[in-house]
Chains A and B, each alone.
Chain A
Amino acid sequence: MWRYLRDIGKGFWSILLSMQITLRYLFTRAVTVQYPEEKRELPTRALTRHVLTIDLESKDLKCTACDMCARICPVNCIYLEGEGKGKARRATWFIIDHNLCMYCNLCVEVCPFDAISMWTGQYELGGFSRTNLVYGLDTMTADGFYPTIMTPRPPAGAAVKAPAAAGAGKQERKG
């Protein structure tokens, strides 16, 4: 009999304790970000969309159409063609299909000239048809220069320190 009453009392008390904590939460601030009005700040490394970077001095594309990115891509979403020989080689046709891209960043890592980047901070890629997500050479170069993995010091904020990865990668590529 005593145990029966004590169990009821204990159960009731535990429910009250639970209610106390939910009441406290009722008056804590919500963590929701009201998206179109507020936007959360993306870290520098957020993988968003591809851009082809431009050499700051010559204002030319760094890309030499070496086809490395297209070959490493696991889903074959990069198509490109180039013209010219050696260092003068330039891409004439460069398409990335973001419908297929699975944002693995392998193309960026494999690029020997630091010519492609996904650290753009532009994540609102929505479109009304599938072709809106297929980016060509013009849409990918319009945005100019972005920091990439090999950029020595990206702009302030979340500074990136990746000498090891970049260094190791470079040595490999040279060798």
Chain B
Amino acid sequence: MIGGVLESLYGLFGEWWIIPRLIEMFVVVSIIIGFISVAAMFLIWWERKISAHIQVRFGPMRVGGWHGWAQSIADGIKLLLKEDIIPARADRPIFILAPMVVFASALAAYVVIPFGPGLIVQDLNIGILYIIAISSLAVLGIIMAGWSSNNKYAALGALRSAAQAVSYEIPLIISLLGPLLIVGSLSMTKIVEAQYVPFILVQPLAFLIYFTCAVAETNRLPFDIPEAESELVAGFHVEYSGMRFAIFFMAEYANMFVVCAIATTVFLGGWKGPLLPPVAWFLIKTFFLLFVMMWLRWTLTRTRVDQLMNVAWKVLLPLAFVNLGITGLVMLLYPVG
């Protein structure tokens, strides 16, 4: 039977090399999914621990023995086994599709993350552009989820999410333009290689703007108004339960990892660092940024919708333009070569 499938694939593409290529793609995607799952589980456990200790609690302590390390696994199994509820008045196909879209956009972004020299799935020459384009797709999934749930809270959450994503994408991109001007390339590997000093020292303002927008992009406190537990109950995923909810949850953490990985690549010098292997440096930097994100979440109060827009359009965007202008001016006066 496998022979038959290969035969038909051969017939479809007419080129023999497509088969090992497909197998390679399959393996790579499996590795990425595995990495995302493990990373997301670890992040969830980690976040629960950090939040607990900030709040003078212990957090999960039981499952698995040492400080409840297996808590996320247990939760995952529980969510898998739960009944899959689709509301009677929901728009079924879209309701089912929405978590997949959200997760797929998170997954696809991993393709161009440079974990180390050569440790990149596909070093696209438009790496950054690709990530920005792909991660914008997540908001589509969120709107689908909110709309198809046929729930007023979910719809409100989806609308908020759309407004937020549109506003925050612009300062995010413009803040990234500063470093990109210096590098002169969109390729992720080239960006890392161009950093003799981490760009955070050269472009501190751009880093702050990027990080703020990244927090907003991933819908986390203080910008978690699409979910806004105390206002919209859970926002766009209020009707989701079981595995579908788990996928939304995992996509959130996968997205967090992506935005922090971009920040590491563009601003913190990527895999570069002394002594330790490059992958270790990359992960250390990324996880430090993730820690800062969690730290922010458990410190700050949620902003309001209008304030969110104010911050995006009246603070971040002008500052990003100023940063871009100054960078361009300096580049013009002192060409790096």
Contact = CB atoms under 8 A, between A and B. Distances in A.
Interface stretch (A19-27, A52-60, A107-115, A154-162): A19-27
Greatest chain B CB density within 10 A among A8, A26, A32 is at: A26
With a 10 A CB-CB cut-off, give which of A15, A23, A31, A32 has the most chain B CB atoms: A32
B57 interface: yes
A30 interface: yes
B58 A22 contact: no
Nearest to A23: B295
Contact of B52 (A8, A30, A34): A30
Contact of A19 (B50, B55, B299, B319): B299
Contacts of B61: 34
Contacts of B57: 30-32
Contact of B299 (A22, A27, A32): A22
Nearest to A21: B299
A22 B315 contact: no
Interface in A1-35: 8, 15, 18-19, 22-23, 25-32, 34
A30 B300 contact: no
Contacts of A19: 295-296, 299
B116 to A, nearest CB: 30
B58 A30 contact: yes
A135 B276 CA distance: 67
Contacts of B77: none
Given A8-B315, A18-B299, A19-B295, A32 B58 contact: yes
B300 A15 contact: yes
Contacts of A22: 54, 295, 298-299
Interface residues of A, number: 15
Interface residues of B, number: 16
B54 A25 contact: yes
Contacts of A32: 56-58
A29 B55 CA distance: 10
A22 B57 CA distance: 13
Contact of B54 (A8, A26, A29, A34): A26
B300 A25 contact: no
Contacts of B56: 25, 28-32
Interface string B263-286: 000000000000000000000000
Contacts of B53: 25-27, 30
Nearest to B50: A26
A34 B296 contact: no
Contacts of B54: 22, 25-26
28 contacts: A8-B315, A8-B319, A15-B299, A15-B300, A18-B299, A19-B295, A22-B54, A22-B295, A22-B298, A25-B53, A25-B54, A25-B55, A26-B53, A26-B54, A26-B295, A28-B56, A29-B56, A30-B52, A30-B53, A30-B56, A30-B57, A30-B58, A31-B56, A31-B57, A32-B56, A32-B57, A34-B58, A34-B61
Given A29-B56, A30-B52, 12 more contacts: A8-B319, A18-B300, A22-B295, A25-B56, A26-B50, A27-B53, A28-B56, A30-B53, A30-B58, A31-B56, A32-B57, A34-B58
Q: Which 7 residue pairs across A and B have the least CB separation, nearest first?
A: A22-B299, A32-B58, A30-B58, A18-B299, A22-B54, A31-B56, A26-B53
